[in-house]
Chain A
Amino acid sequence: MISTSPIRSHEADGGQLTIANNSVNSAFSSVYYAEQNGGDVTALVEKLNTAVSLIQKATAENATDPNGAIADLSNATTIAQMVSLNSTLVSTSGSMARQLRLYGALGTVVATLGIAALVYLRGDRVYRRLWLYVYRNHVVEKNDE
């Protein structure tokens, strides 16, 4: 997890490293907004961290294995781009889930208020009818005592 030369998107870096860094940061922005929309971004974060690890590995091995470093940076960029694409879906499903929760809660409130109003206005009559129905066959017997 150590990088001897700094990976800093806040500084100018050249070539594929910059592309990979920017891809990860751009994908992070997509993930951030997907989460803001109520999406579950756990899997996306995991994938993005894989891309970050590849960038750090590439930076560490750049001096000894430049081809390996290029391959790692390319893989990191691909992963980040996939995360960006998938975050759109996660964002949409998060928005829908949030709307469903909202409608569910509002439905519960409306139903509760409706039932309460019915009980208040018609409760007595319904109770008496129910009582009569339940005890329709009941015979009142004379108590000898």
Chain B
Amino acid sequence: MNKQTATIILASITLLIVAAALTPLIPVREPKYSELGILGPDGTAKGYPTSVAVNQLFRLYGFVGNHEGNVENYQLLVKLGNQTTVVNNATYANAPVLATFWRIVGENQTWTFPMNLSINQAGNNTRIIFELWSYNVPASNFVYTGLWDYIWLNVTA
């Protein structure tokens, strides 16, 4: 082995060791996001109720995933809306809150939970809106994440 080859091998090994030592210190830039899902009574994405009686309990499941890169303080608000209720990624629904579910979720953890709900007023095309809020630490309040979902229900008297 000549001097030049030995130098190249030595430099390569040195670079590999230095890179391996420094890699854990370099922050990984992964996409940050939360997940929201509403599941049916059997915990799958099917069998959603379409009609319930007033004050009849019905069960749905909520699913929240935290991939924000840190622990999150989530609240899922269940609101009672209708066809005219405006809700989108930027605007939360201005509607009465039926229930609130609250949980601190660690990074890369999910939270699946049952929601036993009932509605105390009859109406066709009632929209049950699910909004995910998270606690903003610097602002010290809950803010709308822009994640929402809904189901349509006919509520019979």
Contacts and interface: CB of A to CB of B under 8 A. Distances in A.
Nearest to A83: B104
A25 B135 contact: yes
Given A10-B142, A31-B71, A113-B18, A3 B99 contact: yes
Given A9-B142, A52-B103, A116-B11, A2 B71 contact: no
Interface residues of B, number: 38
A41 B70 CA distance: 10
Contacts of B13: 116
Given A6-B99, A49-B103, A113-B18, A105 B24 contact: yes
B140 A1 contact: no
Given A36-B70, A113-B14, A7 B102 contact: yes
A8 B10 CA distance: 62
Given A29-B137, A113-B18, A6 B10 contact: no
Interface string A80-109: 000000000000000000000110010011
A86 to B, nearest CB: 14
Contacts of B113: 1
Interface stretch (B33-41, B45-53, B114-122, B146-154): B114-122
B17 A45 contact: no
13 contacts: A7-B102, A8-B100, A9-B142, A10-B142, A25-B140, A28-B135, A33-B137, A105-B22, A109-B18, A116-B10, A116-B14, A119-B10, A120-B10
Interface of A: 1-4, 6-10, 25, 28-29, 31-33, 35-36, 41-42, 45, 48-49, 52, 55-56, 101-102, 105, 108-109, 112-113, 116, 119-120, 123
- The 3 closest A-B CB pairs, nearest first, are A108-B21, A116-B14, A6-B97
